[in-house]
Structure 1
Amino acid sequence: MIQLLDKHKQYDIIGDIHGHYDELVSLLKNLGYSLQNGIWKNGDRTPVFVGDYIDRGPKIMETLKLVRDLTESGNGIALMGNHEYNFICMHNYDSDGKPFRKRSEGNLKSINQTLIALESENDFYSYLKWMEQLPVIAFNDSLRVVHAQWHHPSIELILSSSIKTLDQNGLSQVFENETLKNALDITMKGQEVQLPETHHFFDKDNKSRGEARLKWWNQLPSNKMDDAFAWILILMLIY
């Protein structure tokens, strides 16, 4: 679940892509990357993707292939986002044969475009296994990268865990340890607060929500803001 970053390399931190392949290619070109033997490269720099490659966008398969080719060729690093985490939890099972994440109508709707993109059985299992081995944390002495929140108590729990990948076995251990499960949720989704019973809001998918994510960075002392934004999203995909 951990990726160490080379302190001698320069990194481009790239935020949520969500299947927007064309925008990703445009961003890579603007950053000085070029296509060399099928791989996007920039001799001086390495992209670090913070997760959320799937769902929503029109070119999910192309996005997955680009990011996977970069990582497997040693020319990029890809972290797990909450969308990949949700996806693998819906397709791995506990000892009772139940998925770790419920396949409710809403949850299935959220991954429908990804399931369509991975309609080939070979593609589905190949990319499922790839997602399972994605790290949750990447860091060195001067840079920290996670998908949502660098929450020190949660990070310490993850660092001390013996779990290497979030495959069937890894997820089984996570879901048997509520404290570790909460640590992963915070790291990939951010801290949430329960709203009063009479309060709720509708998210962008028109789903009613009784919990809200905290703007945790507003709680940091001013001298810690640079530390926070060293790893939060340095580069954003805007579309």
Structure 2
Amino acid sequence: MRHARVEGYDLIGDVHGCGATLAVLLERLGYHQRDGVYRHPRRKAIFVGDLIDRGPRIRLAVRIARRMVEDGQAHVVLGNHEINALTYTLKAPPELGREWLRPHTPRHNRIIKETLEQYHDHPQEWDDTLAWFRDIPLFLEFDDFRVVHACWDQTLITQLRRQYPDGRIDTDFLYRASTPGSDEFRILERLTRGGSISLPEGVVIHSGDGFTRRSFRTHFWARCPSTWGDVVFQPDNLPNGLERQPLSDRERAKLSYYAPDERPLFIGHYWCEGVPALPAPNIACLDYSAVKYGRLVAYRYSFEPQLDADRFVWVPVPRDAAARPEPREIDFD
């Protein structure tokens, strides 16, 4: 994809329904709302996915991003939470033996609970939002840089492009992806959820978001990893000294790898904490746990060949509801 005439792009991390904070971040970046759309005279924004779920102003977050995209002021890629919403609301084919493509388990219900509640009195808007999600690509590739929600796996992206050249999938793809082990399943998992390694039998991680996990998230920029600690990428520590656990040949073969000579890559997804930093010289992760009272983070990319941590811009998300930012000059309700 070639650039429009812009000075650069502002890549924005997982918003997760922090719509008011998003408005404040855009204003800090020099965007101003006019006729319901945030615009910058010389730049455009790119959202790395996960606009919905968990946060206090989900509808506002979606409306801000959608209006910018539809007006040509921004791009967006699908996150795993948008995929969750699409599959949660799709009826499953009879051969699956269940009612919904994404089963309505207590865990899945809890993840999407806030989104459904905030759209409850706006059913047409929710249907329109789901339709918009179906038109969002899984990845973006420009001449100078790339964007994906969780992991850039070139082999899988090349495979996806054979049928979906622009990365925009359809309902048939989602149906096929519901079968573990299918090509579509592997593509969707890797691009929107990244890699993971299962923990030993009986070992779990009690995550900070209240879920119990039996696997841990892995990154994809270690050249020659040898232990679990070389590839773990999440805020939760591995229990029982498992950082020293050697990677098996099977685990190592399943890892993706993004080389340092590849063009800059922007991702979200991984619930980073603390002051934003570059996990690799050519990779910027923009998810800094905004909805867990962390930071909503952007990276101001101006086509520099080497990424620079000084180009991160962020807005802290306070715990005190009364202290949370309110968007100025905007009323989408």
| Both proteins in one fold, TM over 0.5 | yes
Q: Tell me the equivalent position of 1:71.
A: 69
Deviates more, 1:4-13 or 1:122-131: 4-13
Segments of structure 1 that go 5 or more residues without pairing to the other structure are: none
Alignment of 1:11-90 (within 5 A): 11-90=9-88
Q: Tell me the equivalent position of 2:174.
A: 171
Q: How far, CA to CA, are the matches of 1:78 and 1:226 in structure 2?
A: 19
Give the aligned residue type for 1:168.
T
Alignment of 1:6 with 2:7, yes or no, is no
Give yes or no for contact 2:152–2:258 (8 Å, CA) kept in 1. Answer: no
Give yes or no for contact 2:58–2:118 (8 Å, CA) kept in 1. Answer: yes
CA-based RMSD of the aligned residues comes to 2.4
Q: Tell me the equivalent position of 2:271.
A: none
Q: Tell me the equivalent position of 2:213.
A: 209
Deviates more, 1:205-214 or 1:222-231: 222-231
Give the aligned residue type for 2:82.
E
Q: Tell me the equivalent position of 1:129.
A: 131
Give the aligned residue type for 2:87.
C
Q: How far, CA to CA, are the matches of 1:17 and 1:221 in structure 2?
A: 25
Residues 210 and 134 (structure 1 numbering): CA distance in 2 closer, same or farther, change over 3 Å?
same
Cα deviation digits, residues 83-139 of structure 1 (max 9, x gap)? 111111111123216322111011011100000111122122111111122111111
Q: Tell me the equivalent position of 1:99.
A: 100
User: The residue matched to 2:69 in structure 1 has which SS?
Assistant: helix
Candidates 185, 192, 196, aligned match of 2:196: 192
User: The residue matched to 1:18 in structure 2 has which SS?
Assistant: coil
Greater than 6 Å deviation, 4+ residue runs: none
Q: Tell me the equivalent position of 2:295.
A: none
Q: How far, CA to CA, are the matches of 1:77 and 1:222 in structure 2?
A: 25
Deviates more, 1:6-15 or 1:61-70: 6-15
Residues 189 and 23 (structure 1 numbering): CA distance in 2 closer, same or farther, change over 3 Å?
same
More helix by share: 1
Segments of structure 2 that go 5 or more residues without pairing to the other structure are: 224-256, 266-281, 287-298, 300-311, 318-333
Give the aligned residue type for 1:28.
L
Which structure has the greater CA radius of gyration?
Answer: 2
Deviates more, 1:229-238 or 1:45-54: 229-238
Residues 149 and 180 (structure 1 numbering): CA distance in 2 closer, same or farther, change over 3 Å?
same
Q: TM-score of the superposition, structure 2-length normalised? A: 0.65
Shift of residue 222 of structure 1?
7.7
Q: Tell me the equivalent position of 2:320.
A: none
Q: TM-score of the superposition, structure 1-length normalised? A: 0.88
Q: How far, CA to CA, are the matches of 2:137 and 2:258 in structure 1?
A: 29
Give yes or no for contact 1:146–1:232 (8 Å, CA) kept in 2. Answer: no
Residues 217 and 47 (structure 1 numbering): CA distance in 2 closer, same or farther, change over 3 Å?
same
Q: Tell me the equivalent position of 2:251.
A: none
Give the aligned residue type for 2:193.
K
Residues 227 and 77 (structure 1 numbering): CA distance in 2 closer, same or farther, change over 3 Å?
closer
